[in-house]
Amino acid sequence: MNVNRQQLHELIDIVDSKELNIVYHLLTKFIPEDLPTPEEIVAIKKGREEIARGEFVRHEDINWD
């Protein structure tokens, strides 16, 4: 049986909300480690937007002591 993404979406929609954490952790096992998670993609986008607005601290301005 070939399963498509829509079928998986429909299954997730009927999973009891108490079990969603388990489903999430199971699905993340199939994501290659070198690909960013959805949360990481949001954080990367936010960081790039901040840099574009000049909202960053230069490396040499940090007191590393």
**Predicted confidence (pLDDT) per residue in 21-48, tens digit:** 999 999 988 888 888 888 999 999 999 9
pLDDT in the model for residue 12: 93
Global pTM value: 0.47
SS (H, E, C) the chain: CCCCHHHHHHHHHHCCHHHHHHHHHHHHCCCCCCCCCHHHHHHHHHHHHHHHCCCCCCHHHCCCC
Is 1's pLDDT higher than 90?
no
pLDDT in the model for residue 36: 87
Structural domain including 33 reads 5-61
Domains held by the chain: number: 1
Contact 22, 14 (CB under 8 A): no
